[in-house]
Structure 1
């Protein structure tokens, strides 16, 4: 799959000497959903702002569909839709007028059919004649997304798009995202709802202190860095883990009736088989077992703490 966005050696330094970005190298594939995760102040919004032409980089290059964002500013900016964290709209304009005006800013001809489709997809059609000042926060967030889609972008940036949005609307918005991806739109999202990234993203990038510390396929990331926990429900109470099982680093529950084994997913089969055999040899019997796996959030927390 070819790259839609290619970033090389991208840095951003401020007059104070603070380095917001430090020599970022990143390729985002055409037609993928890429989740950019990182704590507050990690550089997510700065990176998005540079790609979208809002902030100038101190060094490095960004190509969008093979075009340099600085030399071909108009062409690259017209390919990008941005939904920022902040709600910036004309409070006394109607939904229809502000979304239509946003399309015109990119030199696109009038297309009421497309605007109607966007508003209906975002459940805004019944609010098309309402002034934005009268809308709820969630509705205003939908309007921001509609504005970003008004000029039919090839790349869509969603910077915390569901902040302050109720669960029902969040699910509807992700339905729209899936439809856009299916149509070939490249989507880059930042989110604090890591379960969304876990559900939606094809690949995940983690940024911390202005540096990309990891980029990987979501499933590969969870296989490589995820941990599984095997919980064994014992037939009888155990006072202590036998010394012969010390190599497994088992945890014994406070009631003495459960044993927990945490293991790397890459050694799943050999580790469990060996453990079960050693448990039998130690005279420990169990009546049931279940497993759980690390979430993407747990992996993310472990990465940014290192």
Structure 2
């Protein structure tokens, strides 16, 4: 990581610039696919010809509508790299973050590397209570990697250390099946016209977000609020966000944005087939 080395060796270096903080609509790179690139071809006949050719080759996949550069996605949900920067820029904050999630039933018995971002200087990884070793970060390294972990469902846990003392912890658990919806919210703005951001998690019976669950969610608002938008952070989702009354979850999450229309209360109800619904009243 170049900026890690520059921080220590370049006295002239005043800071860092990251492109970008958020994903943004348009410029769907660096993961352009064939169908995304087709949209850049202006001649309809040529576009049709190439689309048929790519379809025959099995290379047509949904095009992206946004960039992938962000530390946060389109909804402001942190990506894994969020914790990379947090650990680097806030060394005084106890941080440990495991990736990936631990829901891989098709990988039982297969090697599945585990990465940890931490503001500590070393960490020990455990799988179902068994230590997989304690490792130190190198001088310019920004993560610790266990590249020989054999996947088994259960609990993955990391304990980070700094200067020899326990510093931070993180866990990933294999969840159960999606069973219910859970909401949380934050409000911003002037009283009576606040904008309310609601996060909806698809959870198992224990309340853990199910990371590979993508059910369609339906929204109903009653009372003193209006639905402004909904989103899920998926760069390849083409569902209209403006005043959307339904939206698929992505990585087990979805977001609804509401605006109050007065001093009274409102209720948001979120439903999905086969799951216990969630109701938020504010």
TM-score computed with the length of structure 1 as normaliser: 0.27
By relative contact order (CA 8 Å, sep 6+), the higher-ranking structure is 1
TM-score computed with the length of structure 2 as normaliser: 0.29
Task: Looking at secondary structure, tell me which structure has more helix per residue.
Answer: 1
Bigger-Rg structure (1/2): 1
Task: Looking at secondary structure, tell me which structure has more strand per residue.
Answer: 2
